[in-house]
Structure 1
Amino acid sequence: MVASDAQKTQYATEHWFREQGLPYFVQPRNRGRRLLARCAPMLLFLAMSSFAWSLYAHSSAIQLISDEADSEFDLGPGQAVLLLSMPIAVVLLPVLLAIVGRRFLARHRGWARLVSAGAIVTLLLINPLVAIGSRESSWGIEFSSNLITVLLVLGLAWLGIGSFLGWSVRAAVRQLSAIWLLAAIALPLLMLVVIFAFYSQETWQMTAGLQRGQIFWLLVFLLATGLLFVVYSARKELRDLPASLTEESRAELRGGTPLALVDELPGGAGEGWQGLNRAERANVVWVLVLAQCFQVLIFGLLVFSFLMVLAMLSVPEPLAVQWSGQAAVPLQMFGLNLPIGQAPVRVCAFLAAIAALNFVVSVNSSKAYRDAFFDPLIEQTSRALAVHAAYQSRFCRPEPGPDAPQDPVRKPGLSAPDDIVDA
């Protein structure tokens, strides 16, 4: 019974690591554990999406999309409804079902394995049969592409990439809830400088004089500079972190995790940052870096939206032409002319990138910014290191002899509320 509880605790801890975007904290021999059940949401999405696409491959909607040379093709009401329903059936509904089913499948591993098996059967047997006779696909193409897709999903999940990508999506959604914090703390401190540059004629002239490729690489250069600073500051913070992670603080940080009531055993595999191998260190660094990148991206989009509204309200087209020194040219996207001028978009994008770079520097230097945006990330990283120390000492030690006493381990639930980017 004790051994069974210990195994459940170990699995719950490994599940917690994957939820935090730290798949390389799991022992290598356990990375393939319950692989099929863990891939159930993604396989369910792929099976439903592929099945819907196979059905649409027989319809006139696919003919309308693929037959670009036939300009006389008339679109009837039924075909219009069919065409509009395609993105819903192929993308939206499978995504919603996978998201809703994720929590249920995480708690019911038997159902998760059953769903994964059914999804694989659908991808490898049913969908190729449905594709027979369609003009867009064939049995061989459908089977080979679906087989490669299934193997790719299982391989990425085993490597931990699937866990990291899933965490990235959840982290991005969680960061959206912090927009009010960005607007209340970060945005007012930068608006005076940004607005002053926005109403400067030299800024409009400089951005208008650049070619489209030049403005793109300028934005890439500014964002890459910010990324290098984020990586450097993250590594520096993590190197200094072990000094504050005493045994008592690690026990307190494990509260609310699967190892909340579990103490570290003496002689563990290592504590804190110094106890991590190269892959584990890289995993921690890039989780922290990516969490900051989401903050910077959302802040940049917030500044860009604010400046675009400001441009529409206060910079009429004749004034924009005068400042930029060029005739008004509409913004083109996907071959369509949008009712927005290129000059305001270029100015707003350039100033948003400058503001985002300033935000990166301020987050790592200003105390007000650190308290609001950076310290919560460091606290969650400390919690992950504290859990990892107990996990290493409990489950990565040599197997005890038959006469060695067993340590009772608490039987936890699978839910782990905290995320490394919970803002």
Structure 2
Amino acid sequence: MTTDSAAAAEHWFLRNGLPYVLRPGTLVRRVWSRSAPALVAFAVVMASSILVVAVTGKHTIDIDGSPTRTEWFVLFVVVLVLPVAAAAGWLTNRIESTGRRRAASTVAVAVAILGALLGGPSALIFVDLAFDAVVIAVILLCTATGLGAILGWAARMTLTNLASIGALMLRALPVMLLTVLVFFNSPVWTMVSTISRARLWLALLFLFTIAAVFLVSNTLSRVRPILEPDAKRPEDANALAGTPFERLPDRPRRVPLSRPERFNVVYVVALSQVVQVLTVAIATGLIFCVFGLILISPELLAAWTGGGPSDGQFLGMTLPVPEALIQITMFLTALTFMYLAARAVSDAEYRGQFLDPLLDGVRQTLVARDRYRTYTARN
């Protein structure tokens, strides 16, 4: 294996979400260039803050129930900034040249600093610069520890399994019909309009934890057999055709995985399922939010909540959406996530469409890991 081949092998493991397979010290190399996609995405967000401050003259987004033309433009920017940032990061990730990725990282940091000087979440420049420094440090740390590679792999798996997500969306229809009863239940609206946002976040965290335990426990039972030394199959080697490991020598039994490697495998499979189920739950919540904006009038909202509609707060922004509607959307999203998590654990069709192909990919990656370990042990 040449130097270029070794670099290709390392890149292959990073793209497949198994950074802890690599030799010690590999993850801390080329951190600046490997961080380019996340840094570019962050730069897009900071550039949007420059635009918002230039248009509104304020560092906070505060839009009441009757937006002006300028405020509608700001809402348009808020809605588009995350998709545009994700697209910019994806395009940056397609850059093969290390030099160009390094240049992209440098330009992205420069734009982020400019965003702190001309925009940012605070009117105090030193606060915005400190915010920039913390975010950039977290991005570099995630890259150096391999967490960024795992999150990137989970995002790519979610995009490549949009068909499975569509099927899972159809499975969410029963709970959507059930939550209609919750949505048109005045005591629930009274509850969500009365409790504080902090208490609601605690309740959502509690529900999310229960559902995540379902998925992780199921993942452990499904992944554990393929981690065993005798779990290799003869046909697994054929899956490596066209990869940097195609011509490397193999061994009949798997090298026992270290504890970080076992954690890595379980984590990527569980994270992929959580992200997929959460994506469907959020989409379902947004459907109810739009449905509420269309159907619920101020008079009906006042009758349900016992008070007049108030502009909602979300992520520090004041939006022309009733606070009660935002709160019940969050609540219904959590309920949908719990239902789909339990369904994913028990649904054989879901396992056949999504989980089994995912485990086959992990099995292939572990065969590549064995060959990589065999090669590095000799060199």
1:86-144 deviation line (CA, Å, top 9, x unaligned)? 989x999887555434322xx22344445556777x589x979x99xxx9648xx96x8
Please, which of 94, 100, 104 is the counterpart of residue 91 of structure 2?
A: 100
Map of 1:208 onto structure 2: 190
> Are 1:238 and 2:201 matched, yes or no?
no
2:57 pairs, out of 52, 61, 64, with 64
Q: Secondary structure at the match of 2:352?
A: helix
Q: 1:354 aligns with which of 310, 335, 357?
A: 335
Equivalent residue runs for 1:374-389 within 5 Å: 374-389=355-370
Q: Which residue of 1 aligns with 2:213?
A: 228
Compared CA separation, residues 32 and 357, structure 1 to 2 (3 A): same
1:181-203 alpha-carbon deviations (Å, 9 max, x no partner) = 2234x134x25xx5256337995
Shift in alpha-carbon separation, 1:303–1:263, aligned structure 2, 3 A: same
- C-alpha displacement of 1:352: 4.3
The residue type paired with residue 350 of structure 2 is Y
Are 2:285 and 1:292 aligned?
no
Q: Matched residues in 2 for 1:252 and 1:235: separation?
A: 26
**1:356–1:86 CA distance, 2 compared to 1 (3 A):** closer
Q: Secondary structure at the match of 1:363?
A: helix
Q: For the Cα contact (< 8 Å) 2:172–2:340, is it kept in 1?
A: no
Partner of 1:30: 26
Q: CA deviation at 1:84?
A: 10
Contact 1:330 1:337 in 2 (8 A): no
Whether 1:333 aligns to 2:312 is yes
State the secondary structure of the residue aligned to 1:374: helix
What is the identity, as a one-letter code, of the residue corresponding to 2:221?
Answer: K
TM-score by length of 1: 0.65
Equivalent-residue separation in structure 2 for 1:349 and 1:218 (angstroms): 10
Q: Does 1:252 align with 2:238?
A: yes
Conservation of the 8 A alpha-carbon contact between 1:300 and 1:353 = yes
Spell out, residue by residue over 1:226-276, the C-alpha distance to the aligned partner (whole angstroms, 9 max, x if none).
01111111112111224683241331333453323434146x8x44xxx22
Q: Secondary structure at the match of 2:271?
A: helix
What is the distance in 2 between the residues matched to 1:307 and 1:92?
21
Computing the radius of gyration over CA atoms, which structure comes out larger, 1 or 2?
1
In the superposition, relative to structure 1, how do residues 41 and 201 fare at CA in structure 2: closer, same or farther (>3 Å)?
Answer: closer
Structure-2 change in CA distance of 1:162 and 1:352 (3 Å): closer
The residue type equivalent to 2:57 in the other structure is: L
Distance (whole Å) between structure 1 residues aligned to residue 260 and residue 280 of structure 2 = 30
Matches of 2:75 and 2:295 in 1, distance apart?
Answer: 38
Instruction: Single out whichever of 27-36 and 207-216 deviates more from structure 2.
Output: 207-216
Letter in 1 for 2:195: R
Gap change, CA 1:294 and 1:200, over 3 Å in 2: closer
Query: Residues 197 and 110 from structure 1, CA distance in 2 versus in 1: closer, same or farther, beyond 3 angstroms?
Result: closer
Paired amino acid for 1:241: I
Structure 1: which amino acid aligns with 2:210? T
- Distance change >3 Å, CA 137–CA 286, structure 1 → 2: same
What is the match of residue 66 of structure 2? none
* Alpha-carbon displacement from aligned partner over 1:21-42 (angstroms, at most 9, x marks no partner): 2211211132233334323445
Q: Does the 8 Å contact 2:32/2:105 carry over to 1?
A: yes
Distance 1:203 1:374, change over 3 A: farther
Q: 1:65 deviation in Å?
A: 2.0
Q: 1:199 to 1:390 in 2, by over 3 A?
A: same
Aligned equivalents of 1:279, 1:115: Cα separation in 2: 31
Instruction: Measure how far apart 1:12 and its partner are.
Output: 1.3
Q: Distance in 2 between matches of 1:292 and 1:262?
A: 32
Q: Distance in 2 between matches of 1:23 and 1:296?
A: 24
Task: Describe the shift of the 1:32–1:203 C-alpha distance in structure 2 as closer, same or farther (beyond 3 A).
Answer: same
Superposed CA RMSD: 5.0
Distance in 2 (CA, whole Å) between partners of 1:333 and 1:148 is 28
- 3-state SS of 2:94 partner: helix
What residue in structure 1 maps to residue 353 of structure 2?
A: 372
Residue 198 of structure 1 aligns to a residue whose secondary structure is: helix
Which residue of 20, 28, 33 corresponds with 2:16? 20
Gaps (5+ residues) in structure 2? 62-68
Task: Give the Cα–Cα distance (whole angstroms) in 1 for the partners of residues 93 and 287 of structure 2.
Answer: 36
Residue 328 (structure 1) shift = 6.0
Displacement, 1:298?
2.0
Distance in 1 between residues matched to 2:179 and 2:58, nearest whole Å: 46
Identity of aligned residues (%): 22
Aligned: 1:167 with 2:160? no
Distance across 1 between alignment mates of 2:60 and 2:220: 53
What amino acid sits opposite 1:157 in the alignment?
T
Q: Are the equivalent residues in 2 in contact too, given 1:32–1:158 (CA < 8 A)?
A: yes
* Separation (CA, whole Å) in 2 of partners of 1:229 and 1:67: 39
CA pair 145-175 structure 1, distance change in 2 beyond 3 A: same
